[in-house]
Structure 1
Amino acid sequence: MMQFTDAQTTELDMRLEVASEAWSIFKSLPFNNGRLVCLCSKQWLVQIHQGVVSKRKIPEQFIEELHGYAETPNEQCEAPFRWFPQLFKWGEMTGLLLLDKKIYLLDDFDGDFIEIPIANRLKKWSFKYQDQVEGSGDEGANFLPVACGYTAGGGLPVFYSNVGGEVSNYLAHLSIDVAAKTAQWQFNDEGRAPMIVKYGDYFDVSGYTCFSDASWTGQGYLMYGVGFDAPHFRTGMQFSRLLRVDQNGIATDATDSLLSLDEPCYGHLCADARHLLLKPMYKNKERKGRESLVALDTMQETPLELPKAMKKLKLIDIYDGHAWFVPPVSTDPKVADPAFIPIITCRVIEE
């Protein structure tokens, strides 16, 4: 059982920076001593630490460089709207991934970016994601990064969507040597193509599947996937699976999921590498939309019990004895966007 104490609220307001009433947090990364770094509205990095908010804009040079990687007419059309740096955590450093070509690291939030080119490119694939296209590694990648997972060291897991941007069923592994300022894509080195992960291969499912989250344990991956049982089912979600997968994309136990759930849930593998956060998709089923935590060592699930004043908050992450929460986002079009987003930082006590 977890207890959340010493709650501290920090108000995050980005209206002046983005020149709009509508802004959002794209991703958040937890660090030691209760520090949180967020990517807001695609172009702003925000650090929250001990109630102090620090902001810095991602250099326009990075955005122009990223969009400059677009080579086909379709990519050039999509780049300004769908292409933006992906935020990731590398130890205590904040990282930005630009497609499959380059990363930038921040050792100090107010310091200079460390530029690290990626030595090899991901090989091109056709629009039908199962068909490989012959070509040199110097051609532009057709993969669009969706998100980066957490790592225990030794490599960064990166999820990619297919050319059409429909499914995030690809997983690539990026090794990084900060001291040497080098990085390269590893595993499946022949053709340097990311692994295609099809949950249906393991569970006799013929429908749509995608990652919800993945992490690198040092020896393999934990992958949490969601999807549909029928090929053309597109409403809601029908199943959730947690797999342990080796570096070649092969499940160590292909007969069953590590976790059996009574209803569909999104999942987030927490930065502490010890917990899976479950977020039910539906509010009208047995779980009533209430979040819960699964201990990854025992697979025991525990409801997230919050103090009365925090009951409606949603957990962002857990790391280094701290937890971070935000209020739920309203989907009611009649409700105006909030002027600011409160970030609540708590200490975690485990009984």
Structure 2
Amino acid sequence: MLKKGIVVLLALLVASLVLAGEFNVAAGKTYTLSPGPNPNYADPGSKLTDGSFNFSWGDMVGWENPAANPTIVVDLGDIYEEVSYVALKVMYSAPSAVNMPEYFIVSISEDGELYEDLGMGITYAEAPVANDTIATLYWASEEFVGYGRYVKIEIVPGGDAWTMIAEVVVGDGALPEELDAMVGGLLDLTYAATVSVGKPYMLIPLPSDAYPDTDSVKVTDGFARYSWADMIGFDNPAINPTIIIDLLEPKSIGRVSAHFMRSFASAVNLPKSLLIGVSDDGMEFKTVGLAVATNPYPPQNEFINEIHWSPSEPVLARYVKIEIRPRGAAWTMLAEATVWAME
């Protein structure tokens, strides 16, 4: 009970800290919502940035089983150079069929048109979240910060019932000490080893006939060469291309990445990000992260660039799903997908 009390107290301290002062640059700012919320829990255009997040229906903006993921775009009013934190204050009430979101994806833009993915809010500050409370779902990073004016938050609901949001927080600059203490550190990959080479995989959809994967070997053959023959290609696909790798047995996964061509001359661009999921049976997948970091950084043209993700703690699973989020109506050329496991 003492440990739980400390966690709750810390979460409350963080909430009061980030909502006050200069760190929260979303306070009082305007925003747009898509799709529109349910009329019973509508928004005059100020609820989500007014600093109030009481456990009260009147304080909430709500969607009931929306056809599309609810998306919030906050106009910060000016360019900010170090967006390091985005959080949602959400209601959780099982008796009222209000689910917590599964996660959100945050991206940022200078002009409100072209967005760069920043990361994923998948961690709750109050975990485990108590019933009939307001919880804080957040993304935070001081290594991969955002530059821009418009912050887009795409919310993935946690079920088919209600999603209720009370407040949006956007932090700019160094993380406050109390918040920094809640952010997981980097995983030590000194003893990690590649476990995906030669492993079977599935592609959804199939690549273009111009750059096929005839023998189903290119994606895990261990080579990421700048060669058209070494790559598979997707030409403006209707759905996000997805790779499901079967590691044949459960592994303690410490890193997932994929290598892509970037060639402006050939209309080949890098994906915005990679959505990472894991599974024990290859059927039911749990989303665990978003790969946004690149190697090299910044990405190079006419080069093979790696996009990678690592958890703060190893994730045990047999199957790894990599969903590619393409950038614009152009070619996406994949040379290799790689999974590392802890020895």
TM (norm. structure 1) is 0.26
TM (norm. structure 2) is 0.26
**Which one scores higher on RCO, CA 8 angstroms, separation ≥ 6?**
2
More strand by share: 2
